[in-house]
Structure 1
Amino acid sequence: MIKFIRKRSLYWFPLCRIALTTMLMFNAMLMVAQSDQTKATELEVFSPVIIDENEEPLVNIRINNKTKGLKAISDAAGSLTIGANKGDKLEIFASGTKIMDYVVGDKVSPIIVLSSKNPAVLRSKPLRRLFNTTVQSDLTASSSQAVFNNDLQKSAVTSVISALSGRLAGISTNQFTGQPGNDGTSISLRNQGPLVIIDGIPRQLTVFDLEEIESITVLKDALSTAMMGVRGSNGALVITTRKGNPNTARMSFTAQTAIQQPLRFPKALNSFNYATLYNEALKNDGLAPVYSEQALQGYQSGSDPYLYPDINWKDQVLNSSSRQDRYTFSASGGNSFSKYFVSFDHINQSGLLKQSDINAYSTNNNFKSYTLRSNVDLQLNSKLSGGIYLLGRILNGNDAGFSTGSILSSIMNTPNNAYPVYNPDKSYAGSQQFQSNIWAQTVGSGYQQNFKRDMLADFYLKRTLDEVTTGLWVKATGSYYATLSENILRPKTFAVFQRNLSPTGQESYQQFGANSDQLNANGIDYQGRSDYLELTLGYDRTFNEHGFTGLLLANRQNSVAGSDLPLTFTGTSGRFSYNYSKKYILEMAFGLNGSNRYPDGGTTKYGFFPSVGLAWNISQEDFLKSQEWLSYLKLYGSYGKTGNDNPGYFSYIQRYFDSSSAFFGTGAGSNTSITELPIANTNITWEKANKLNVGLQGSLFNQQLGFTFEYYHMKYYDLLTQRGRNTALLGNTYPNENIGRNQYSGLDVQLLYQKNIKNVSIYATVNAGVQSSKVLYFDEVNQPFAWMQRTGQRVGQAFGYQADGLFQTTAEATSAPSIIGYTPQAGDIKYKDLNNDGLINQLDQTAIGNTKPVIPFGASLGFSWKAFDFSALVQGVANRNIYLNNASTFAFQNGGFGQAFEQHLDRWTPTNTDATYPRLWIGSNVYNQATSSYWVRSGDYVRLKNIEVGFTLPTKLAGKINVNSVRFFANAVNVFTFNKDKSIDPESYQSNYPVQRLINFGVNLKL
């Protein structure tokens, strides 16, 4: 204790000197103020930090002290300094427009939060572009749109793609599964699959801690993606992770737990209805029934569950709900030397499979993840800066030995009356037709685990070269990514027993399969690595009314997946921009690059992809400045050539692989055997697209209403497709060749409304995309009739027979055109004979389903009032087709032993002629199951995708527990769905694992 006191005493002398000096200075200031009572009060130093609700700094925000005639503008860290006294009324301007009034309070350095829903505030945020660069939004002609951290975190999802649903114009998402650890969401940007770029580097990571993401910016046109060159045709999603802010240190902790409930699951028929319909189907096929009246009564009464079982396998095997827990901690801050952002995220998500006490291990399909992020930026000296960005991620999955996918498939294909769960002797029940008990698959097949590890490290050094010329800089970037996925397999087999009763009632069992000990195996599922190098030279300078920016870089990315040879992209690219008085903008960009998957030499290995854009800030013209209703207006457009890398695996080299189809020697045995792969294409090259984009962006009525309208026209050519006029006489498969041409065009619309009314702030956004496409050429065979032509149709258009209802009588069916070898009967589908030749064949196939432009759309709204906030997101699509061809579409499949479902009750019968399903049949039916418009359904839907309500504790209450803020919130994902066919989910209709509804509760603490 004495030591401690002495140690502290060393600090007393300098502290006392500082205190004494401060007191003397304060006394001198007080004496000066008292000596001249007529002098005005001195202004205090007011130093706020301007941020948005995402806690990101806002730059170029101007504050006016109107009464004192002073003004200041926020810097890159969002901070500024202005003279003001307590009670002074300050005006806050963003993008030249007044946003709000602020009264100076007791706090010397408060944090002022502005809503990024305001169009002017949104424009003041830097627009993220390729290669970790930014631009002021009104100084570019490119097409882009962003969604920010605050909106992303409203969705309790594991995939960043799932959080984008309904939030961006031109983006269409489809969640096709709800499996733990895999939200299963696909994404399309103007009918293309965009490239994912994380902190400037193309990567394939989409399972993210949403709290570590600053923003996701979608790049749509040729100008914005030109520097990607051979990978720029499909657009890009630029994911930018959060960085530290040198002004303030912040810590955040979020804990949340969600209840997961499966949405629509096909409803299987009970045993009585199944047996009744099965007998009916046999009768329709001219066969004798297999279920007697006694059996039907037994199924209906449930008198003997062993002899007449009725097992709802879904309820037997699956839980009605599961759980997801998530915990996230983040900290950020810094000083003039360094700034940091670190975060840790943990997800624990359980699956739907039930478990049994007979196991000492879990057989549920669980998922756990641990993600650690560290972003550190350093200002090494006045000219040299650097950064180290690290990511470590662990993904652990657990599953039953039989696998969830196989179990769900068994549920969909096993009738309720197939067998009981257990026999009277407690053995697993089964039969000759069903030798794999579903409950045994779930709890008696062992378990399997998957362990995935990801490691990512980015480094950069940046040096300003103002000594050469002002605004010049150079930057070097390096990155390394490694991934490994390993499986541990602990499966075992099980026996099932079929219970048989003799006429005298004697019981016996017939065994199928065998019980085995648990195996123990492990192996590498896949592994990969990627390294990236980049050298950049940049320039940014303004001379009076002339602004110049330039970027020139060379980069190389090398990726290895499994045992494949490396895939390497190399090249150079650049971007140049000029603006006059920030009113007229000219931009040019190019990419000159390629990959090693093309032949050396010639023009097939590297491509040149130029683009140009023009923009005009019309609202800055003198003739519009007097129009008070118009706050901002910009006209912009771009045109350019882009590339798409799609070469396959060294397909220009003729390859031969081991096979049993050809022999050198006298017989198969151990002689050498080879097979020739598809013919090599020595002229293969990258696919290309010419893309036009024209847009109008603006805001009206004092920044209350913002809008963006964009028209695009894209011609994709040199697409790799097979020739349609191939001949089998060659004896080999033809290669993909650069011969295809497609066209895409459409309109993207984005509307934003934001208004403050006293203590209430409200906003609403609407976005939609009208997406048309057309096949211009794909070398189809010569079609004898116009309706058979694929050329000119929508890209991906389905073809089949046109259904014209159902036959109502046997006479009508037998007299109608039919497929050769099949005689229709009443209740079968009636097809149109388009060429009137009396036959139904390929000559009668035409485009089926909706051929109108697809329209994905989304709308969000929200408000905040005092301590409460609310938001909702609606998402959907119009003019989309669904073709039913999954496990629940047809009854009695799998050789006649398959399941039947609730929709099959509305089948055609002589007394139910207005049915939605044809007459029943057993097994496959070449006629009724032919591809036709009968099985096309409307994929249009509207889904309440997300809803959230929050409450923030008053500052005084939060201060009592030593935190800056406490916010309680509840949100839900996939709340309600409105579509025409209630029996199917419009997104996951082809998946056995249903999409989940999540009801989530959480609390967020900020320190």
Structure 2
Amino acid sequence: MKLIFIRFMFFCGILLLTCSSKAVPRKTTTDPCHAGWLAQKYTGTVFDTNSPVATLVKDSLVPLKNPQPVQLPYVTVPQQLAVASTDAVYNSDLLKSPVTSFGNALACRMAGLHTLQFSGLPGSDGASFNVRGQTPVIIVDGVVTGLTQYDLEEIESVTVLKDASAMAMLGVRGSNGAILVTTKKGIEAKPLVSLTVQTATQQPLGYPKAVNAYDYARLRNEALRNDGIDSANSGLYYSQTALDAYKNHSDPYNYPDVNYWKEVTKNSSMLNRYTLSTRGGNRFAKYFVSLEHVNQSGFFKTVDSNTYNTNNNFKSYIIRSNVDVNITPKLTGGIYLLGRIQNANEPGATTSLILGNILITPANAYPVLNENGSLGGSQIYQNNIWAQTVASGYRQNYKRDVLVNVYLKRTLDELLPGLWIKAKVAYYGSLSESIYRGKSFAVYQKNGSSYTQFGANGTQGNSNGIDYQGRLDYEEFSAGYDKTINEDHGLNAIVLVNRDNSSNGYDLPYTITGTSGRIAYNYKGRYMVEGSWGINGSNRYPDNGNTKRGVFPAIGLGWNIDQEAFMANVPFVSALKLYGSYGRTGWDRPGYFVYYPRFLDGPGYYFGTSAGGATTITEGTLANPNITFQKANKLNIGLSGHMLKDQLAFKVEYYRNNYYDILMQRGNNSTLLGNEYPDENIGKNRYFGWEGQVSWRQTGNKLQYFIAANASTIGSKVLYADEVNRPYEWMKRTGQPVSQRFGYIAEGLYQSQDEINTRATTVGYKPQLGDIKYKDLNADGIINQNDQAAMGTTKPLFFYGISFGVSWKGFDISAVLQGVQNYQVYLGGNYYWAFPDNGLGQAWSENLGRWTPDNAAGATYPRLSYGINTNNHATSSYWLRNNNFIRLKNAEIGYSLPQSLISKIRLQTVRVFANGYNLLTWAASDFSDRDPEAYFGSYPVQRLVNFGINIKF
């Protein structure tokens, strides 16, 4: 199938090149603020590709007579008439980031959208999304798919929806916000062919730094002494001979010092991308077709002796075809197709296991290779990490995605001018299949002149199977009316019914059905009022009439103040709009038919040796016959404007969202029942915050530039949680921020015996010097669970983005800065604590700052312990770290060849460029050897430096 696909791509590429003709200018739209918010009145611009400044500001600096409309579910709204809270990023800004997931390209470009990239694993390096405290739904051309791994060149825009007015029509999918992906469509113009070739170098940004063998050995001796383990009766201590050998590297086979991270990983890897697209059409048919191939290699080392690949590589092949046709003067239709193939490869031991073993294997565990060339290891450490990387076989994963989206639209002007109807059908299929070809290996430990073998050589594991198989079909019928009456009264309405049916593997289908609508009215474009609603629900609720369907209404108001007569005397204000919305939205979390009682097979019992046995029946989690969807009441108020001949633009919004009927388990449950209680709709939370954006743009004949900034806060509060009985107020979750951490409040380390004698005692533990001391909140002289309280900051999360760009005589440069404040993380476990895994684990560079009598005042880590220390490793504020950081997220420099030169060879544009991603980071000292986004030992986030060329003809 892969060969057929490649041949098809090659054929399409030849066809597109053959069909190309003389270059013509084309019109596109973008946004100088990288946030889509600049335009309430002027968003897009006419763009002449012959301009030498095309590569930077493209179409963003000259106002359009018809600004880019706001994308909402099922409808588009003119910018000047929009009252919903939305932000958008357009294609030209997305392409500045050399990434494979559009989520990574959105970082810090829009207010209200917070992204974090937790991993740099090829094929799985997409950022997480957070819209005003919630995880949004992803909608591609009107269909909920969740796809984020995309050809960025096929995306026209990405819009984030945030308030009730924008989300009401989604009904039970409206509470968490949404990300709308709109792909490119055809245009009425001669064919425009675009070819882009890019190659990037990837470098891991940070990984926990393990100590060397000498430091490990001496620190472990210190930990053993601290725990009072007798050196005379213990073989756990390292002798002075061993310490000297580790320090001097005099006997690397008997006293190894191995940096496993450097042994199995490379300093850099490659990412190559090739994209070919064409766009054009006439008054009968318009089309956009795109082909892309991505080849992203991982950072594991390989050996030439293998006839197969053991690196963690990722390859993808994506084809997009969007065609719109005017079937008759009143009937139009379209078919949008997406095909995607993703192939991933990794060592047989798996990438996650190898990285996990790096975290728990000390530098002196074994040599990579023994003196006789065999694999090093021991009875305790049989996980030779080098062998796991290159000698454990391989695993392959194949993913296939197909998305088909078809519509027909008919105007009914003969019945009523402005009336139309539309039918839409979509299908999405996804399949993930894995193949495993594993190999076992033996490790050998040297004992004098001989070796002891652990494990077996040559055993091969072979398996394959379906990991995931999903299907979705979507049907929609809508009718709308759009009319301006007597040039003063604008009326827009839409009503639709839809059905969204999906299935995952062998599960029964999950089906959401219902109706929704929107009615909007404006008077002279000055005053706007709109009402929207959704009435829907899913098939996984009991059909009792109360929980099957929900009603989710919203109302929005807007006032274009600049249209008032009194603003005529304020010439420096060109646009000023006050707007707001309030409404109820829903979120569907039904579980898998949890309203049914369930009885499952339990353990078997046998009677004697020949009497046979019996299988017991166990009752599952209690059923909840009253389960329903979660809900939220959302308020949004905003003010936006343009001043000083549209050079200065701003926008500020306040939101307050009250979530209720949140599913949670009751805290006051009785274990006497002998069963688990179900989730019930009883929780209440509130999210609130501010979002602000401002930009300045300057145009000129040769020099053009812009600078823009956005900032957002996300605060939260638990309004009600059915908690267990807590005797003190500081223990209660109600009133605290959502997901607030609770634990002991650390007050430094014990520095004297007098402190130990006079402070509260710890239940079941006798403190020593260098241990963490905790605050006795109830002053009862005992440290126990009653002294746990909210720990760390309770301030709202604050994040921001700053972008700027300059263009001059064909040269352009732009950059984006990302910043996060009031962001704390909890450091602990295998990637931070010394000697985990019952004392056999790793030690880290941070552990060198441990408490000792000589380092008492400057200690940054408690005294060392061998294994888990119940006092020091208890959940406490001591392990919280500020993770505020500023990052140069993206930068690009480019040059467009003069039109006078390239027109001679029938080319429209030729642009060479270099861009980078995650280029520089300024973070707290606690993250000197780690990345602030992926700090816990997962596949590290990558820095990318990319070079490319784009040719249009």
Normalised-by-shorter TM-score class: over 0.9
Question: Aligned runs of 1:538-557 on 2, under 5 Å?
Answer: 538-544=480-486, 545-557=488-500
Aligned to 1:750: 693
Summarize deviations over 1:265-319 as a string: whole Å, max 9, x none: 1111111111111111111011245111111110111111101100110010111
**1:578-657 to 2 correspondences below 5 Å:** 578-657=521-600
Instruction: Say whether the 8 Å CA contact 2:343–2:397 is kept in structure 1.
Output: yes
Instruction: Give 1:140 shift.
Output: 2.0
Q: Is the 1:883–1:935 contact (alpha carbons within 8 Å) kept by the matching residues of 2?
A: yes
Aligned partners of 2:528 and 2:558 also within 8 Å? yes
**Aligned match of 2:307:** 360
Q: 2: distance between equivalents of 1:474 and 1:676? A: 51
Partner residue in 2 for 1:22 = none
CA 1:202–1:338 in structure 2 vs 1: closer, same or farther (change >3 Å)?
same
SS at match of 2:220: helix
Give the 5 Å matches for 1:461-540: 461-501=408-448, 507-540=449-482
Q: CA RMSD in A?
A: 2.3
Question: Do 2:30 and 2:93's aligned partners in 1 also have CA atoms closer than 8 Å?
Answer: no
Residue type matched to 1:364 in 2?
N
Tell me which residue corresponds to 1:218: 160
Q: Is the 8 A contact 1:119 1:705 kept in 2?
A: no
1:810 equivalent in structure 2? 753
Secondary structure at the counterpart of residue 520 of structure 1: strand
Deviation at 1:556, TM superposition (A): 0.2
Give the structure 1 partner of residue 80 of structure 2.
138
- One-letter identity of the residue aligned with 2:860: T
Taking the aligned partners of 1:570 and 1:853, their CA distance within structure 2 comes to 37
Q: CA deviation at 1:983?
A: 3.5
Amino acid at match of 2:555: V
Structure 1 partner of 2:942: 996
Kindly indicate whether residue 355 of structure 2 is the aligned counterpart of residue 412 of structure 1: no
Q: Is 2:289 aligned against 1:348?
A: no
Q: Secondary structure at the match of 1:249?
A: strand
Quick one: which amino acid aligns to residue 399 of structure 1? Answer: E
C-alpha distance in structure 2 between counterparts of 1:227 and 1:443, whole Å: 53
Q: Is 2:883 the counterpart of 1:936?
A: no
1:784-840 deviations in Å (ceiling 9; x for gaps): 111111100000100000000000123422443233221010000010011111111
Deviations 1:862-886 (A, max 9, x none): 1111111111011121111111124
User: What SS does the aligned partner of 1:217 have?
Assistant: strand
Structure 1 stretch displaced more, 320-329 or 816-825: 816-825
Within the alignment, does 1:884 sit opposite 2:831 as a pair?
A: no
Residues 748-897 of structure 1 correspond to what in structure 2 (within 5 A)? 748-897=691-840
In the TM superposition, residue 659 of structure 1 has moved relative to its aligned partner by 3.0
| 2:892 equivalent among 931, 945, 948 | 948
**Structure 1 residues 666, 562: CA separation in 2 closer, same or farther (over 3 Å shift)?**
farther
Q: How far 1:97 sits from its partner (Å)?
A: 12
- 1:713 and 2:668 matched: no
SS at match of 1:52: coil
Cα contact 1:51–1:112 (8 A) shared by 2: no
Once residues 97 and 685 of structure 1 are traced to their aligned partners in structure 2, the CA distance between those partners, rounded to angstroms, is 41
One-letter identity of the residue aligned with 1:472: L
What is the CA–CA distance in structure 1 between the aligned matches of 2:617 and 2:43, rounded to whole Å?
A: 73
How far apart are the structure 1 equivalents of 2:764 and 2:42? 77
1:764 Cα deviation after fit = 1.4
SS at match of 2:853: coil
* CA distance in structure 1 between the aligned counterparts of 2:41 and 2:741, rounded to whole angstroms: 49
Q: Give the greater-gyration-radius structure (CA).
A: 1
Determine which of 184, 189, 197 is the counterpart of 1:247.
189
Cα displacement (A) at 1:658: 2.4
**What is the SS of the residue equivalent to 1:678?**
coil
Deviation at 1:673, TM superposition (A): 3.0
How do 1:81-480 residues align onto structure 2 when only pairs under 5 Å count? 115-118=58-61, 120-121=63-64, 124-131=67-74, 133-289=75-231, 290-480=237-427
> For 1:356-401, what per-residue CA distance to the aligned partner results, in whole angstroms no more than 9, with x for missing partners?
1221101000000000000000001100000000000000000100
Q: Secondary structure at the match of 1:363?
A: coil
- Given that 1:988 and 1:995 are in contact with CA atoms closer than 8 Å, whether structure 2 keeps it comes out as yes
Q: Counterpart of 2:936 in structure 1: which amino acid?
A: Q
Q: Does the 8 A contact of 1:532 with 1:556 survive in 2?
A: yes
Counterparts of 2:743 and 2:470 in 1: how far apart (Å)?
A: 42
**Cα–Cα, structure 1 residues 123 and 840, in superposed 2: closer, same or farther, change >3 Å?**
farther
| Change in 2 beyond 3 A, CA 1:421/1:585 | same
Whether the 8 Å contact between 2:194 and 2:952 is mirrored in structure 1 is yes
Q: Which amino acid aligns with 1:592?
A: I
Q: Quick check: 1:614–1:636 contact (8 Å CA) kept in 2?
A: yes
The alignment's TM-score, normalised by the length of structure 1, stands at 0.88
Residue 925 of structure 1: how far off its partner (Å)? 0.8
For 1:98 and 1:301, the matched residues in 2 are separated by 66
Partner SS state of residue 161, structure 1? helix
Letter in 1 for 2:568: K
Secondary structure of residue in 2 paired with 1:947: strand
Partners of 1:663 and 1:674 within 8 A in 2: no
Q: Choose from 918, 922, 930 the match for 1:984.
A: 930
Residue aligned with 1:637, SS: strand
Counterpart of 2:14?
none
- The structure whose RCO (Cα within 8 Å, separation 6+) is larger is 2
Contact 2:746 2:772 in 1 (8 A): yes
User: How far apart are the structure 2 equivalents of 1:386 and 1:486?
Assistant: 35
In the alignment, is the contact (CA less than 8 A) between 2:61 and 2:699 conserved in 1? no
Q: Unmatched 5+ residue regions in structure 2?
A: 1-23, 33-38, 232-236
Amino acid at match of 1:1002: G
Alpha-carbon shift at residue 984 of structure 1 (Å)? 2.9
Give, in whole Å, the separation in 1 of the partners of 2:447 and 2:122.
Answer: 41
2:952 maps to 1:1006? yes
Gaps of 5+ in 1: 1-46, 56-92, 502-506
Does the 8 Å CA contact 2:359/2:937 hold for their aligned counterparts?
Answer: no
- Separation of aligned partners in 2, 1:605 and 1:94: 39
Q: Secondary structure at the match of 2:699?
A: strand
Residues 119 and 706, structure 1, Cα contact 8 Å, conserved in 2: no
Change (3 A) 1:432 1:688: same
CA distance in 1, matches of 2:27, 2:929: 51
Question: Structure 2 CA distance, aligned partners of 1:304 and 1:946?
Answer: 47
| C-alpha deviation, 1:426, in angstroms | 1.2
Q: Distance in 2 between matches of 1:288 and 1:881?
A: 40
Aligned length: 913
Closer/same/farther in 2, CA of residues 122 and 719 from structure 1, 3 Å limit: farther
Q: Distance in 2 between matches of 1:327 and 1:339?
A: 24
Aligned to 1:392, the other structure's residue is in SS state strand
Letter in 2 for 1:793: Q
Counterpart AA for 1:647: P
Q: CA deviation at 1:203?
A: 1.3
- Alignment correspondent of 1:67: none
Q: 1:860 to 1:121 in 2, by over 3 A?
A: farther
1:52 paired with 2:39, answer: no
Is residue 2:862 matched to residue 1:918? Answer: yes
Secondary structure in 2 aligned to 1:295? Answer: helix
Distance 1:706 1:491, change over 3 A: same
Q: Which amino acid aligns with 1:150?
A: S
Distance 2:532 2:692 in 1: 25
Q: CA deviation at 1:769?
A: 0.9
- CA distance in structure 2 between the partners assigned to 1:538 and 1:407 by the alignment: 57
- Note the alpha carbon deviations across 1:496-522, whole angstroms, 9 max, x for none: 111111xxxxx1111111113333221
Q: Give the counterpart of 1:696 among 633, 639, 651.
A: 639
Opposite residue 364 of structure 2, the aligned amino acid is: N
What amino acid is the match of 1:926?
Answer: T
